[in-house]
């Protein structure tokens, strides 16, 4: 969900974020942070049980979140390191997540619906008095093709 006083613009392909930063830096002091890369995967059962109950199950790097679709608010979270594939409700040791998923999925497994890679980079703009003007965030999102699709 967007915060108040937040504006969103899409850059045309004619200008890259680096070109925009160069242009802004001609008139202002600019501080650019290192880019952050994140992988996000959405899961559901083959018959869309979570979606029909107004939930989204999202795995971001090592964190799983069950989110309400209508509000975007997280309902339950599970954090775990490693590449363990969690395919059934019983695979989650987090009580709230395990309980909610079990009640919705029953014995159904989870499947990957779509995976995205996001690359975000924050830029702070300062005026001549060193007061921060707007803070900008460049966000690039691309879907990651499932290698299994090409093996069939």
Count the neighbouring beta carbons within 10 Å of the beta carbon of residue 98.
17
CA dihedral 18, 21, 25, 29 (to 10 degrees): -120
Tell me, what's the pLDDT at 146?
Answer: 61
Q: Which residues pair with 17 in a beta bridge?
A: none
Is the separation of the CB atoms in 146 and 131 below 8 Å?
A: no
- Report in angstroms the alpha-carbon separations of 88 from 67, 74, 135: 17, 19, 41
Residue found by looking up tokens 């363990």 in the block: 84
- Report in angstroms the alpha-carbon separations of 70 from 3, 8, 41, 50: 16, 21, 19, 13
Give the Cα separation of 108 and 46 in Å (integer): 8
11 Cβ neighbours under 8 A, 6+ residues apart? 17, 20
Tell me, what's the pLDDT at 86?
Answer: 64
* Predicted confidence pLDDT, tens digits, the chain (152 residues): 445 666 677 777 787 778 888 888 888 888 888 888 999 999 999 999 999 999 999 998 888 999 999 998 999 888 876 555 667 887 777 678 888 999 999 888 898 888 888 888 888 888 888 888 777 887 777 787 765 544 43
Domain definitions of the chain by residue range = 24-36+117-151, 40-114
Is the separation of the CB atoms in 75 and 96 below 8 Å?
A: yes
Tell me, what's the pLDDT at 81?
Answer: 61
Tell me, what's the pLDDT at 67?
Answer: 94
Is the separation of the CB atoms in 77 and 63 below 8 Å?
A: yes
Is the separation of the CB atoms in 64 and 75 below 8 Å?
A: no
Here the tokens at position 66 are 């069950």
């Amino acid at each position: 969900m967007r915060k108040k006083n937040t504006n969103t613009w899409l850059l045309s392909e004619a200008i890259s974020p680096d070109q925009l930063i160069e242009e802004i830096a001609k008139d202002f002091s600019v501080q650019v942070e290192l880019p952050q890369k994140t992988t996000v995967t959405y899961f559901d059962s083959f018959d869309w049980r979570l979606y029909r109950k107004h939930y989204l199950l999202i795995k971001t790097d090592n964190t799983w979140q069950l989110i309400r679709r209508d509000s975007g608010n997280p309902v339950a979270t599970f954090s775990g390191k490693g590449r363990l594939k969690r395919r059934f409700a019983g695979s989650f040791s987090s009580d709230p997540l395990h309980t909610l998923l079990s009640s919705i999925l029953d014995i159904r497994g989870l499947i990957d619906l779509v995976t995205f890679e996001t690359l975000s980079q924050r830029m702070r703009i300062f005026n001549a008095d060193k007061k921060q003007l707007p803070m900008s965030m460049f966000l690039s999102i691309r879907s990651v093709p499932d290698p299994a699709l090409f093996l069939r």
